[in-house]
Structure 1
């Protein structure tokens, strides 16, 4: 095609999207879409209404009704911290030498860790990819991505230091503002670990703006409930080893309100300053539904007039927080609609790992099954540990006006971090061989160009909690490999979705087991110094 002639009638940006999607939806002069990536925490396959859940999630359900939902999507790992590295880079958790993830502030940045494994010397994030395409980028929420922080004596805090000695006035270095995000507001370790405080572009941001961004605005906290804001009860649940330091006004029940409000304010400011000409990437990493389950009384933030009840809405704390997650999603969608940009925004929703364990899960409806037919829960190598909801929406909700046709369902086996390669393809950028090493673009599936019987991945790897156990899946066969590199279990998901019949000793599978084990070790041998090969082909602009 002669692109110079074509550009007389269409903008060149429009041409790129036409070439990308093959869709006539962009016959009008449209631009690259805004992208909103929403990451839930601990939301299992059957938690959402559209996946059979009993807790009301009307806003998330509406995403699926006006887009596509996947039935065979998997988080990069069965635990949050390792998944979060992958969801930002498109590479499996072990690619930076930290298969267990960069949990707290006593870990350096996961993007800089073992950078010698890549030609670039570090791991490129999806933020950088989108910045290169002219996007404004922002991140809000839970992180677990590491970074460099100091104690009050000026020493870098490591595993050997006491975390509660952190010097808040120095903030955090090597954070997301140095890895592709123009703006970020986050909880470095989520709502469950210290520092119990918000950081903005690397600087400590006190809840009370009148307070100084120094240690004077912090206090030590122990396990228990704290009445802070009056709009809920804050709870500290994992400070039992030592007293934990946090903002003196920190309140876990307000985290979702603070983060979603900041996300909406970013959209407001972006539209005002850029007049909708420049697209944006908004990465929204919700605190919900991780413990502590401390929902606010009122999602609108005023306990005196309950306009949007959360606490007590469903009859149990866990499902109240799930309900609140849906309100956060609705709040962002309403803002996009208000600004007239919802139809040209690609929205992706997924979760960082599988469903919560029953021992800490209490739903208002006793009939609620947060994991559907799948075996086991969060941190497990079985399907329940990593099979998660995955929904994508792009269009006006009608068949004629949508890139992703409304109400569609895909049974393709995909990984959560496939969205990273999708962004490479969306913005038509070549992928470096040593970046996004395990990511395949979802665009052919989202646009209906790839048949369901044509798999996106030749095979995928699964990782349990702290990479103690792993698995390789090829087609419907899943081979489990333990921490001693022994093949221990084999399941055929086409006949045994609940993984109840172990085929490991069946003689007809002997050669298959040997072959799959060898392939698993080839691609997942992170104990050696050699660089493991890619599991997917690097995207190249056609």
Structure 2
């Protein structure tokens, strides 16, 4: 479990404006170093199933001027990762600042009675304890029952959905666009899908991404004179693919009906980012607010035709190839970070916890979270991490600099005809740990970013070293909290393998 250790500082409680440091030591001599910026407000915007290659500054033809401007005004990461290749485990790691496997949150939950273990403190808990006003607007996906509700997990305010997916608008309304049309949703009926304002279920008729943007702006307006932590998880461009005329008009150059609707959803997300930055600017908060933009995992491959891209990376959501967990990742803090820089070091969304606490004047005690600030400021040439890890047991992967290794279960199940990534019938997967053994792949990402050539046989010493590292890491992890019931198939260098999520 994480804890906070203040650096001989006393943080004023209630509505704080600054951190006051007290010390019995003699005053240090005057320094020529620039004074540290004041503790910032923190705003995190998490796209949902957004492809690495679906943002303008990462090479997309989809217009994303506001996200692109964040990159020009801040630092863009090219090797930034999330801790899982699917939604809920990523969020469990993101909200706690540690590998979610340490407490058993291994897969997307299929049982809505499950929730983020109550003995796990969230980043919001720590900032709430430190006097920040905390808000979550959008997707939670860490438990529907009341004990797991965001208002019990460190957030002062919540507006959004408790589950992993919902509709954006009633597709029967004029001016709406859906793909495929036969899957177009009309209502929100499940407990996990309904929109909640705190604990109260509310009806929302407008396009949901726009409503989430309005609520984000409202939060900033109401708390402009306080220090705040605002988590924005608007659920777009996750399926169902739904857009409205306003956004479709801007993506007519995109080919493919599904890809065009998806692109319109990305445009709506970009407008959302623009609204948030404009609200900060209106209140003269932009300089002293740390804004982070990233995706929760790579984009999907299981629609009737391709709709998105993780190019130049291989793999998609659910995969432990780079396209499953390397994501668009941008940090902007005018008072505390350089502008217009590109950072190539190996970094993780888990690092945001330590980065936020360091910026705010206290320390994070997490075995997995690294303060990114000195790395992004060019104060050290060392990367934040020597190793990064992923596990959806029994499949497991590791990064070590340019090296990437993935150990994934073999299967004799035939890949069904039709689109890739089809979900297998619900049952316990796997029935045994790895009954048919595993395929081990090793890639040199400097020479083969697209993970096309398996060179494991050529570098047995690297495979052996990485297997030792994985064994040591796995010894620190908990057993999964539930048995996985979902899987899909993939042909990996001629071998059919099974993914678990």
Which category of TM-score, normalised to the shorter sequence, fits these structures? 0.7 to 0.9
RMSD of aligned alpha carbons: 3.4
Q: CA deviation at 1:93?
A: 2.5
Q: Which residue of 2 aligns with 1:499?
A: 451
Q: Residues 395-410 of structure 1: matches in 2 within 5 Å?
A: 395=334, 402-410=335-343
Distance 1:502 1:253, change over 3 A: farther
Q: CA deviation at 1:477?
A: 1.1
Greater displacement, 404-413 / 125-134:
125-134
| CA shift in 2, pair 1:407/1:175, >3 Å | same
Q: How does 1:201-216 map to 2 (within 5 A)?
A: none
The answer on 1:227 being equivalent to 2:172 is: yes
Deviation string, structure 1 residues 78-103 (Cα, Å, up to 9, x no partner): 11111011111111221221210446
Deviation of 1:511 (Å):
2.9
Query: 1:81-92 alignment to 2 at 5 Å?
Result: 81-92=88-99
Is residue 2:376 matched to residue 1:446?
yes
SS at match of 1:139: strand
Give unpaired runs (5+ residues) of structure 1. Answer: 5-10, 113-121, 149-171, 198-206, 208-224, 298-308, 364-368, 396-401, 532-542
Cα pair 1:79 1:379 within 8 Å, conserved? yes
Q: Please give the alpha-carbon distance, in whole angstroms, between the structure 1 residues aligned to 2:476 and 2:40.
A: 37
Determine the C-alpha separation between the residues in 2 that align with 1:374 and 1:290: 19
Shift of 1:255: 1.2
Match of 1:482 in 2: 408
Cα distance in 1 for partners of 2:68, 2:320 equals 27
Q: TM-score, normalised by structure 2?
A: 0.75
> Measured at CA, do residues 296 and 456 of structure 1 come closer, stay the same or move farther in structure 2, by a change above 3 Å?
same
SS of 1:46's partner is coil
Q: 1:412 and 2:412 equivalent?
A: no
In the TM superposition, what is the alpha-carbon distance from 1:462 to its structure 2 partner? 2.5
- What SS class does the counterpart of residue 227 from structure 1 fall into? coil
**Offset at 1:487?**
5.9
SS at match of 1:310: helix
After TM superposition, give the deviation of residue 503 of structure 1 in Å: 1.3
Change (3 A) 1:12 1:329: closer
Aligned partners of 2:218 and 2:477: how far apart in 1?
44
TM-score by length of 1: 0.70
8 Å Cα contact 2:104-2:479 kept in structure 1:
no
Structure 1 residues 13 and 137: alpha-carbon distance in aligned structure 2, compared to 1, 3 A threshold: same
Aligned partner of residue 455 in structure 1, secondary structure: coil
Aligned match of 1:48 in 30, 55, 58? 55
1:136 aligns with 2:133: yes
Alignment partner, residue 274 of structure 2 = 330
Change (3 A) 1:190 1:231: farther
Q: Give the corresponding residue for 1:317.
A: 261
Say whether 1:353 aligns with 2:301.
no
Aligned partner of 2:75 among 68, 71, 92: 68
1:479 to partner: Cα distance: 1.5
Superposed, 1:220-369 pairs within 5 Å as 226-227=171-172, 232=176, 237=183, 254-271=207-224, 276=225, 278-297=226-245, 309-315=246-252, 316-357=260-301, 359=303
Shift of 1:371: 1.7
5+ residue gaps, structure 2: 1-7, 10-16, 23-27, 195-200, 253-259, 410-433, 482-501
Secondary structure of the residue aligned to 1:294 is strand
What does residue 151 of structure 2 align with? 177
Aligned counterpart, 1:380: 319
Post-superposition CA distance 1:464-493 (Å, at most 9, x none):
xx5452211111111212253846111111
Instruction: Say which structure is richer in strand.
Output: 2
In the other structure, the counterpart of 1:392 is: 331
Aligned twin of 1:455 = 383
Deviation at 1:404, TM superposition (A): 1.1
* CA distance 1:527–1:130, shift in 2 (3 Å): closer
Deviation at 1:45, TM superposition (A): 1.2
- Asked whether the equivalents of residues 398 and 405 of structure 2 are also in contact (C-alpha less than 8 Å), the reply is yes
Equivalent-residue separation in structure 2 for 1:414 and 1:320 (angstroms) = 29
Secondary structure of 1:409 counterpart: strand
The residue matched to 1:321 in structure 2 has which SS?
Answer: helix
Tell me if the contact between 2:132 and 2:229 (Cα under 8 Å) persists in the aligned partners: yes
Cα displacement (A) at 1:249: 8.4
Give the equivalent residue in structure 2 for 1:302.
none
2:76 match: secondary structure: strand
Q: 1:127 to 1:374 in 2, by over 3 A?
A: same
C-alpha displacement of 1:339: 0.9
Aligned residues: 417
